[in-house]
Amino acid sequence: MRVAIAGLGTVGAAVADILISRRDLIAARCGRPIDVVAVSARDRSRDRGVDLSGMEWFDDAAVMATEADADVVLEVIGGEDGIAKAVCENAIAAGRHVVTANKALLAIHGKALAQSAETACVGLGYESSVAGGIPVIKALREGFAGNRISSIHGILNGTCNYILTTMRETGRDFDDVLAEAQALGYAEADPTFDVDGIDAAHKLALLASVAFGCEVDFESVHVEGIRHVSADDIAFADELGFRIKLLGIANQTPDGIEQRVYPCMVPMNAPLAHVEGVFNAVVAEGDAVGTSVLQGRGAGAGPTASAVISDIADIARGTILPVFSVPASQLTKSITVSIENRVGPYYVRLTVLDRPGVIADVSAALRDEEVSVEALLQRGRSAEGSVPVVLTLHETQEAAMQRALSRIAKLDTVVESPCMIRIEYL
């Protein structure tokens, strides 16, 4: 089987290296040899640590997708539109199988690409687009094929998990740890997609589609990032018996589908509480299998290339599955449950002036929205006379919580915007 690779960054080069160096092993496992016959990248002169001699080189990846003598086109360029989209569309139109690591592309154009691939009777593999080396797409589509999945949630972004882990271990604040993550290569120069939750939201939209048989609906994912999480919040979480994690959470409920990405507190005894550093983990709840936890490296050349080759191997064996578990024509249009309907406990940190009656005013705002306080922590005052006050709140509806916080923020004695973090008992 012949493969063309569009993009020779760390992942594309790693895939080429593995396919070349382990050719005999892969051939034995797949029943036939797999050869890289064409590549495309912007810079021909760069040393990528792999022998590309004998391969046809294309300056235009979209042209390669149409003209290369290849059975499979691998797209590892990235981006939700532009050349990456053209490569996938051209390859499918030419009757070639496509493998991609591009979660942004699939989160936006997944249904259309799935329809095109299924009409053309070609495969569209994307195991590497979610959770790196964890075979979560394969688990959902194949391992759990006999299950009705009610919930899938997890740590889907290694950059955020690294930052939150390091903040907890060192007591340093977000900006400091982010700069370190960028220096180490764990975070991009522009970290927006990671730290603002967008990357995790792309992945969650794909997982929800595979798990629930619904159309990919990235626009309906409620997204919050981790910029507002402070070292104080992490220390208070530890004192209260929680860890703060950026989670993607998708639930199938009688009212519709919930899709949410936000930092939340999880109990110390939860499986995800001890997933640290750059690792990812995904938890699926099936009616037959029960709770399954998958954990591993969520990014990096090796884990991502491993997942890419898994898709290529499936195609070599003749395994072509519906892209999102069921044929694209059978994907349901999901009803989205608003974040305002969430019911659960909350953590709130306030910075207030140390004056008589402050707690009474805060309590009144909560009382009027029928929000009940579970516990209250107060620490010593600062030089400016302000004090941090932490509240944990019993289960309440998100809409009521937001109304109460809006009232609290307007109090003259509250000197900073309230910090609210949801508590999830998963």
The residues facing 352 across adjacent strands are 387, 414
Task: Name the region of 289 (left: φ>0; alpha: ψ -120 to 50; beta: rest).
Answer: alpha
From CA 52, how far away is CA 38, in angstroms rounded?
A: 9
Exactly one of 85, 103, 138, 203 is catalytic; which is it?
A: 203
CB 370, CB 396: distance < 8 Å: yes
Indicate if 111 belongs to the active site.
no
> Which two three-digit tokens encode residue 10?
């760390």
Beta strands in 210-289 (DSSP E): 222-223, 242-253, 256-267, 279-286
Residue type, 418: P
CB 332, CB 324: distance < 8 Å: no
| Interior/surface letters 267-297, b for 16+ CB within 10 angstroms, e for the rest | eeebebbebbebbbbbbbbbeeeeebebbbb
> What radius of gyration, in Å, describes the C-alpha atoms of the chain?
24
Q: Which positions are annotated as active-site residues?
A: 203
